[in-house]
Amino acid sequence: MNIRLVAEKDYPRVLEILNEAIAARKFTAQLAPATMAIRKDWFVHHSAPRHPMFVAELAGDVVGWITLTEFRAGREGFRFTSEISYYIDSRFHRQGVGSKLMQRAIESADEIGFRNLIAVIFDTNVSSRKLVEKHGFKLWGHMPDAVDIDGNIIGCDYWGLKIEKQ
């Protein structure tokens, strides 16, 4: 498995993986499909060194991705905190893709100088909770009944990781 920075040629595949998660209705609060027009600025933002996007590639196919995103944009006091988001093609769940991506993102966050990583996860998403726990994240907060997806009310958890300088 190759973990590398996203390239422009990967953008359609990244959107396919995101749209699969949107359609599943259990991994993201985004409800409308993502399009290139809507996500163009997002891709540009994640091409910058401070907020990279990494993809996992198997046999030349992108099977997952992870980003470091600005947490609470416009609030400079959060400049050392980043939100981490990730999505894996459902055909590759539970095959170590998420762990490899998570390892690379944590290394990158440390290199960039972030002190905290935040993962926002539905409280019903057991697999994602296990992934972040495996990588040292702790439950920092819970928002009960914060998400409404087609009438399905879901709680949302904030998982945090303190990045300690070695």
CB-count burial class (<10 Å; 0-12, 13-18, 19+) for 59: exposed
Q: How many domains does the chain have?
A: 1
Q: Is residue 78 part of a domain?
A: yes
Residue (of 151, 88, 155) closest to 122 by Cα position? 155
Q: Is residue 19 part of a domain?
A: yes
Q: Is residue 128 part of a domain?
A: no
CATH code of the domain covering residue 24: 3.40.630.30
| pLDDT given for residue 45 in this prediction | 80
| pLDDT given for residue 22 in this prediction | 93
Specify whether the CB–CB gap between 138 and 98 falls below 8 A: no
d(CA 155, CA 120) in angstroms, rounded, equals: 10
d(CA 92, CA 96) in angstroms, rounded, equals: 8
| pLDDT given for residue 17 in this prediction | 96
Mean pLDDT by 10 residues, the chain (166 residues): 95 96 90 90 83 95 96 91 96 94 97 96 95 98 96 97 82
Q: Is residue 11 part of a domain?
A: yes
Q: Is residue 133 part of a domain?
A: no
Residue 22 domain boundaries: 2-116
Q: Is residue 156 part of a domain?
A: no
Could you tell me if residue 72 is left (phi over 0), alpha (psi between -120 and 50 degrees) or otherwise beta?
left
